[in-house]
Amino acid sequence: MTFKEFIYSRIESFGHAFRGWWYVLQTQHNAWIHAVVAMLVFIVAFWLKLPARDWAILILTITMVFTAEFVNTAIEAVVDLASPQKHPLAKVGKDVGAAAVLIAALAAVLIGLLILGPPLWEKLSSWFVE
């Protein structure tokens, strides 16, 4: 493989990835919910002037939720392809994928509360107690 072929194949790989990303955003309503919540978390974190370490944890947590959602969408597509008719094992595959997203989202809520909760409480309570 020449260097030029290598570069073109990497560009093509990015194209596949962006098409997958777009597919998830077009077809998965929960991905939009995740996106809105992520933006709210970023806005609050910016307002609270969180340190870089907290930002890193929030970014990793948000990424974990999106990754679970993307993998779940891939599982659902492959299960639908392999088993167009209803099958108990197809349901298990889809349910387990959905459970992974739920676990990631619940963990993200807990992490968000641990990181954003104390400084948010401090900032908001200072408005009402003086």
Which positions ≥6 away from 47 have C-beta within 8 Å? Answer: 123
- pLDDT, tens digit, 9 for 90 and up, residues 79-112: 999 999 999 999 999 999 999 999 999 999 999 9
30-60 exposure pattern, b = at least 16 Cβ within 10 A, e = fewer: bbeebeebbeebeebbeebebeeebeeebee
Structural domains in the chain, sorted by start: 30-128 (1.10.287.3610)
| pLDDT at residue 130 is higher than 80 | no
pLDDT computed for residue 1 by the predictor = 84
**Distances from the Cα of 99 to the Cα of 74, 96, 103, 117, angstroms:** 14, 5, 6, 26
pTM of the predicted structure, to 2 decimals? 0.89
| pLDDT at residue 76 is higher than 80 | yes
Distance CA 87, CA 25 (A): 27
Q: What mean pLDDT is predicted for residues 41-55?
A: 98
Instruction: Respond yes or no: is residue 5 known to be catalytic.
Output: no
**Distances from the Cα of 22 to the Cα of 18, 25, 70, angstroms:** 6, 5, 11
Catalytic pick among 5, 12, 69, 130: 69
Report the percentage of the chain scoring pLDDT > 70. 99
